[in-house]
Amino acid sequence: MNRRGLLLILTVFCILLALGVMITSCAKPPRKPEAALDTPEHHVFSGNKLLEKGDYAGAQREFVLAMQLDKKYSPAYVGLGLAFGYQNAFPTAYENMKKAKSLAQKPEDKVNAHVGMIRLYSLERKEKWINKAEDEFEDAIKINPKSSAAYFYMGRAYKFAFNFNKAGEMFKKVLDINDKYLVEADNEWKVVQKIQRAAPGSLIGKKIALIEEITRADVAALFVQELLLEKLYEKRTPKRFDTSFQAPVKKFEADRIVKAEAATDIQSHVLRTDIKTIMRLGVRGLEPSPDHKFFPNEKITRAAYAMMVEDILIKVSGDEKLATKFFGSKSPFPDLRNDLPYFNAVMVMTSRGVMEAKDLSTGEFAPMGTVSGADALLIIRKLKDELRFF
């Protein structure tokens, strides 16, 4: 027998061996429960909790344990599909979700599988994804017109598609049904309402509106593209021309100085153009460090944001007295001393209604708290209203 024939036999043998392993695996009887809570339902419940925490490996383990107890348990495949989806393994994610749909027998399992597909489409967001999500939503509410999960996750899908009006309608429906996802829907609805009031006009503004904690780079983009700060400064600041006589000076090679980059850590950043514009405009709190670093991914605090917005207000209004207006004043916030460097900025912003306390029940301002994209946009909208007086 020649070498080619031997290789063919070995290949066929390997294929048959692999098929045998698969058949044996499929024929393997379900695992016997080892504890009272060793049930498919409990493992799926635990897996979903781990998904919420971002522990995708732990979630996968729980969903597999559920499958070992019941190979036809549809919710376990939904969970496993989502676990793969969160890790951007979408081909495997969709395979598991389709398996979940084919195994679903009970109405609640069918709805759960349709909702799982909505969530996957919302994660991947490929071409026409929102239309596919809408189809799954329609199928889900045909089975259960009062499915809180279907309305909630369709609301999130619309939010990711920047259709904030429809998103708000979906979250409102969850509150009207008054069943599950009440707290989550209420929080999402409040965010959508803020975004609607802020009315972001640019695509980058809409994208940043969905971010829970914005960065220095995000703020730079918002000031440039939403506040239109460059045009605002040009409009409010008169141009100055030097018409004095300048004697001709011959430049020698030794006099040529190569100027260092203002920030060396933004070259590959997607918002580099906006960052460079902001550094040129010189907004307080968004300057580069002495060692030429901008730190684009550093989270913005509420105190820092107040100082930035105060600086813009002073420059546009021309009212330099604002910078010291509240020196020595008593602090109305229990978590804000009047000797802090950002106290005056916080007072200027809150006294004009541009910003407000983080917790209205306790009156705390939370100066070291982060700023969401929706809050940042709403503050910019209020600042625009304030600037109309100047």
Q: Which CATH number covers residue 100? A: 1.25.40.10
Whole-number Å distance between alpha carbons of 327 and 256: 45
Closest by Cα among 369, 363, 354, 360 to 198: 354
Shared-domain flag, residues 104 and 229: no
354 inside domain:
yes
222 inside domain:
yes
Shared-domain flag, residues 331 and 372: yes
- Has residue 137 got a pLDDT over 50? yes
177 inside domain:
yes
- Has residue 302 got a pLDDT over 70? yes
Shared-domain flag, residues 151 and 219: no
pLDDT band at 18 (very low <50, low <70, confident <90, very high): very low
User: Would you give the end-to-end CA distance of the chain in angstroms?
Assistant: 95
Closest by Cα among 114, 93, 90 to 102: 114
Whole-number Å distance between alpha carbons of 340 and 347: 11
Phi, psi of 200, rounded to the nearest 5 degrees: -60, 135
Q: What does the pLDDT read at residue 134?
A: 98
**Tokens read off for 180:** 């599950």
Whole-number Å distance between alpha carbons of 163 and 262: 38
User: For 252, which DSSP code?
Assistant: P
258 inside domain:
no
Shared-domain flag, residues 286 and 161: no
User: For 301, which DSSP code?
Assistant: B
Distances (CA, A) of 150 to 118, 153, 180, 250: 8, 6, 11, 74
Shared-domain flag, residues 36 and 173: yes
More confident residue, 255 or 91: 91
Shared-domain flag, residues 216 and 173: no
Whole-number Å distance between alpha carbons of 41 and 73: 9
Decide if 40 contacts 69 (C-beta within 8 A): yes
The residue among 185, 203, 221 that closes a domain is: 203
154 inside domain:
yes
| 184 residue type, one letter | E
- Has residue 165 got a pLDDT over 70? yes
- Has residue 155 got a pLDDT over 90? yes
pTM: 0.81
Burial bucket for residue 217 (CB in 10 Å: 0-12, 13-18, 19+): buried
The residue among 184, 203, 222 that closes a domain is: 203
**Tokens read off for 363:** 């009156």
- Has residue 113 got a pLDDT over 80? yes
Whole-number Å distance between alpha carbons of 273 and 117: 37
Q: Decide: helix, strand or coil at residue 364.
A: strand
Domain tally for the chain?
Answer: 2
* pLDDT average, residue stretch 348-368: 95
Shared-domain flag, residues 283 and 172: no
More confident residue, 24 or 306: 306
| 262 residue type, one letter | A
What would the pLDDT profile of 33-48 be if each residue is shown by its tens digit? 788 888 999 999 999 9
- Has residue 16 got a pLDDT over 50? no
Shared-domain flag, residues 196 and 220: no
Instruction: Tell me the residue range of the domain where 283 lies.
Output: 212-236+264-387
Whole-number Å distance between alpha carbons of 180 and 149: 7
Shared-domain flag, residues 175 and 268: no
141 inside domain:
yes
* Reduced DSSP (H G I as helix, E B as strand, rest coil) percent helix, strand, coil of the chain, to 5: 60, 0, 35
Shared-domain flag, residues 193 and 162: yes
Three-state secondary structure readout of 73-107: CHHHHHHHHHHHHHCCCHHHHHHHHHHHHHHCCCH
Shared-domain flag, residues 72 and 190: yes
What residue has token string 């460097």?
Answer: 341
25 inside domain:
no
* pLDDT average, residue stretch 309-330: 95
Q: What does the pLDDT read at residue 221?
A: 96
What would the pLDDT profile of 183-227 be if each residue is shown by its tens digit? 999 999 999 999 999 999 999 999 999 999 999 999 999 999 999
Residues pairing with 215 in the sheet: 299
Q: What does the pLDDT read at residue 250?
A: 55
Residue 225's Cα: distance from chain center in Å?
Answer: 19
**Tokens read off for 260:** 């260092």
Number of neighbouring beta carbons within 10 Å of residue 4:
7
Shared-domain flag, residues 173 and 229: no
- Has residue 5 got a pLDDT over 90? no
- Has residue 296 got a pLDDT over 80? yes
Whole-number Å distance between alpha carbons of 47 and 40: 10
- Has residue 3 got a pLDDT over 70? no
Q: What does the pLDDT read at residue 14?
A: 41
Q: Which helix (H) or strand (E) holds 319?
A: none
Whole-number Å distance between alpha carbons of 308 and 311: 5
- Has residue 386 got a pLDDT over 50? yes
- Has residue 243 got a pLDDT over 90? no
Whole-number Å distance between alpha carbons of 36 and 13: 44
Q: What does the pLDDT read at residue 20?
A: 45
242 inside domain:
no
Q: What does the pLDDT read at residue 247?
A: 60
Whole-number Å distance between alpha carbons of 44 and 77: 9
Decide if 336 contacts 367 (C-beta within 8 A): yes
Closest by Cα among 284, 324, 325 to 306: 284
Chain mean pLDDT for the chain: 89
- Has residue 23 got a pLDDT over 70? no
More confident residue, 346 or 20: 346
